[in-house]
Amino acid sequence: MNHRSDKLAVLRERFDSQAGLITGVVYKAGYHSQLPILTPAHPYRENAVHAHAFLSSNDPADQELGRGLLSRVLAAQETHPASPWYGIWSWFAEEPLPAMNPADWNWADFIGSTLLAILHQVPDRLGPELLEATRASLGHAAWSIFRRNVGPSYTNIAIIGTAVTLGAGLALNEPRLIAYGRSRLRRLCASINAHGVQEYNSPVYYQVDIGELEGILALPLDADLRAEAEFLLEIFWGQIARHFHPPTAQWAGPHSRSYTNWLDRNARAFLQERLGFDLPPAHDEGGPIGQPSPLDDPYGIPAGPVPCPEKWRAAFQRIPSSPHEQIEVWTRDKQGQPRVVSTTWSDSTVTLGSVNCEVFWKQCQPVVGYWRGQNGELGRVRVRVLLNGDDFCSAQLRSTQRGAVILGAVQFLAGEGTYHVHFDKPADGTFAVRDLRLRFEVEGEASSVRSVSPAEWALCASGEELQLLTDAVWFDGQAVTLWETGGDGRCAWLDAVFYEGAEVPFHPGTVARTGTAFTLAWKKSAPQALGPLQVSDGGQSLTLKGLDPELTLSVPHPPTKLAD
């Protein structure tokens, strides 16, 4: 059996005849969906993708199942123009749109993309009534996208919505949608050219971005629109190439959006298909390396893959030099000055990356590194901030990096979310805290943490050692001296504990000084001994210094976000 047959066989086993949908599980919790995570449910987005897969089969029984799935998905869309949820779907059949917190408007983009793929690839397998219903549903999704009018800073949704509205306009012969899609693509190109990519260096989102741009290129476009889509493809491939680390076969950090700790099998297969060669062996996260799982959710792309531009292919096979430092300006402010800047240092075994300013929400990895030990085993390091056990969105990193050394400070922002950057901000800005900690986490063979001195720690895994120097940990103006080590057999960590105990209110805007500073470095690659970490209070800012005079960081006090 081939992969497609394997996938369809697994999906058939999960078909729920009573619901008329394929059963999945609740894969996220805390925002949008309020259903308990990992409970069985019937997700509409995945069922749209599954419908496409069955309709693409040459087996008449599979095609019939695909038509049934598609009919159920179409029936679940909100189609009343006056509805606040016009044109979208809920995540799960078990949770209607009014019960979500909030509903996810991106479902018009994601499911609309899949409907567009179905209409492009298998329209002859729908039958007249279902064909017309699919065209109508795509129209509702496209007009929902039009009404929402997402700006270019929401990079992946800006690209998907452009593909859906352009494709829908052409498929439905609707000039207004075509004009809107053209305008949106031009605005996106102009914004990225002037200000950069907001969702920078994101393994999962860049796959979506490239896939949707490939879909746009499959449409009958004029030369100007084709040139704009090709311009964006070139930008994304260049950014991936500059951050791919061939010795570890990992997508080097930092990552604005990442759903996994390692480059997963989907991303690897995605890259290999467009590169035309296999990538080096890497960490197996969730299945065979480079082989999509039968349960994976492929994006609905109405086109085949477009090869990676030739000029970037070599970067996936070797690093430019060893060592190599890549400094990338991701976004610029309104005056054109660098705003979000990352540094990625690499050599023949190791890569370490950081960003100058970023929050610690669960999809973001502001500090992350990978390495390959002498026996081929892989290791990684990541810095996180946890509130009551989950990644805390109101914690912010400020950092600077020179070579293999990062100087960083962690502070807490007022007016931000709990676990999501937009959707779960407490009304009065106050968080209920039982446990708040900064975590330095390593994963790999024989992972461990050991104390070298009261202010120095060694983080070890897979034959490598990182040196960590720490400053005092402050919570509401009081110095806290509690450091905890832990592990689960594969990972080891060191926690700077800001607070643990009975639940207390925590408002970042009203408490006294809360945060800490650190220096993190590859021990063998640091240019010199790190020396003591110095923190001086200048009233409106804190100044951090290491032994290296060129490694200095000024941090606003009280903390602020980056200005636009």
User: pLDDT tens digits, residue range 293-304?
Assistant: 333 444 444 457
Find out whether 347 and 525 touch, Cβ atoms under 8 Å.
yes
| Residue 485 and residue 347 in one domain | yes
Model pLDDT, residue 123: 96
Find out whether 201 and 331 touch, Cβ atoms under 8 Å.
no
Confidence of residue 135 (pLDDT cuts 50, 70, 90): very high
Does residue 155 fall inside a structural domain? yes
Model pLDDT, residue 290: 33
* Among the listed residues 417, 420, 549, 431, the one whose alpha carbon sits nearest the alpha carbon of residue 498: 431
Instruction: Give me 453's structure tokens.
Output: 């001195």
Model pLDDT, residue 38: 87
With a cut of 60, say whether residue 401 has pLDDT above it.
Answer: yes
Residue type, 338: P
Mean pLDDT of 114-134: 96
| Residue 342 and residue 215 in one domain | no
The residue written with tokens 């305008």 in the block is 183
Model pLDDT, residue 564: 59
CA R_g for the chain: 24
| Residue 440 and residue 537 in one domain | yes
* Higher-pLDDT residue of 492, 535: 492
pTM above 0.85, yes or no: yes
State whether residue 548 is helix, strand or coil: coil
Mean pLDDT of 386-410: 93
Which of 261, 281, 314 is the C-terminal boundary of a domain? 314
Task: Give the Cα separation of 6 and 10 in Å (integer).
Answer: 6
Model pLDDT, residue 91: 95
Domain count, the chain: 2
Mean pLDDT of 47-76: 96
Mean pLDDT of 519-538: 72
480 CB burial (10 A radius; 0-12, 13-18, 19+)? middle
State whether residue 250 is helix, strand or coil: strand
Q: Please state the φ and ψ torsions of residue 521, each to the nearest 5 degrees.
A: -150, 155
Task: Give the Cα separation of 427 and 505 in Å (integer).
Answer: 13
* Among the listed residues 52, 68, 57, the one whose alpha carbon sits nearest the alpha carbon of residue 5: 57
Return the number of other C-beta atoms located less than 10 Å from residue 473's C-beta.
24
| Residue 359 and residue 337 in one domain | yes
Return the number of other C-beta atoms located less than 10 Å from residue 254's C-beta.
30
* Higher-pLDDT residue of 462, 527: 462
The residue written with tokens 């095609």 in the block is 63
The residue written with tokens 């009233």 in the block is 539
Return the number of other C-beta atoms located less than 10 Å from residue 116's C-beta.
28
Between vectors from CA 202 to CA 169 and to CA 371, what angle results, nearest 5°? Answer: 155
Does residue 102 fall inside a structural domain? no
Does residue 134 fall inside a structural domain? no
Does residue 105 fall inside a structural domain? no
Instruction: Give me 385's structure tokens.
Output: 């901030």
| Residue 423 and residue 551 in one domain | yes
| Residue 400 and residue 508 in one domain | yes
Does residue 19 fall inside a structural domain? no
| Residue 302 and residue 401 in one domain | no
State whether residue 182 is helix, strand or coil: helix
Model pLDDT, residue 237: 97
Find out whether 235 and 192 touch, Cβ atoms under 8 Å.
yes
Task: Give the Cα separation of 115 and 124 in Å (integer).
Answer: 14
With a cut of 60, say whether residue 171 has pLDDT above it.
Answer: yes
Does residue 550 fall inside a structural domain? yes
Model pLDDT, residue 284: 58
* Higher-pLDDT residue of 471, 391: 391
Q: Per mean pLDDT, which range of 303-307, 395-399, 457-461 is the poorest?
A: 303-307
Task: Give the Cα separation of 168 and 146 in Å (integer).
Answer: 11
Does residue 495 fall inside a structural domain? yes
Domain enclosing residue 423, as ranges = 324-556
| Residue 199 and residue 341 in one domain | no
Model pLDDT, residue 476: 83
Instruction: Give me 39's structure tokens.
Output: 């409970």
| Residue 453 and residue 552 in one domain | yes
Model pLDDT, residue 21: 97
Model pLDDT, residue 558: 81
Model pLDDT, residue 30: 64
With a cut of 90, say whether residue 4 has pLDDT above it.
Answer: no
What torsion do the CA atoms of 221, 222, 225, 231 make, to the nearest 10 degrees? 100
* Higher-pLDDT residue of 487, 5: 487
Does residue 398 fall inside a structural domain? yes
First to last CA, the chain: 53
- C-alpha torsion sign, points 254, 257, 263, 267: negative
Model pLDDT, residue 3: 58
Which of 256, 290, 314 is the C-terminal boundary of a domain? 314
Mean pLDDT of 128-138: 98
State whether residue 313 is helix, strand or coil: helix
Model pLDDT, residue 374: 85
With a cut of 90, say whether residue 115 has pLDDT above it.
Answer: yes
Mean pLDDT of 5-17: 90
Q: How many percent of the chain have pLDDT more than 90?
A: 69
Q: Per mean pLDDT, which range of 154-158, 488-492, 553-557 is the poorest?
A: 553-557
Confidence of residue 126 (pLDDT cuts 50, 70, 90): very high
Which of 314, 339, 365 is the C-terminal boundary of a domain? 314
Task: Give the Cα separation of 419 and 435 in Å (integer).
Answer: 14
Confidence of residue 289 (pLDDT cuts 50, 70, 90): very low
Find out whether 545 and 528 touch, Cβ atoms under 8 Å.
no
Model pLDDT, residue 540: 65
* Among the listed residues 290, 468, 288, 282, the one whose alpha carbon sits nearest the alpha carbon of residue 379: 282
| Residue 277 and residue 340 in one domain | no
According to DSSP, the residues that pair with 22 across neighbouring strands are 15
| Residue 266 and residue 339 in one domain | no
Model pLDDT, residue 275: 96
Model pLDDT, residue 204: 87
Write the DSSP symbol of residue 315: G
| Residue 339 and residue 309 in one domain | no
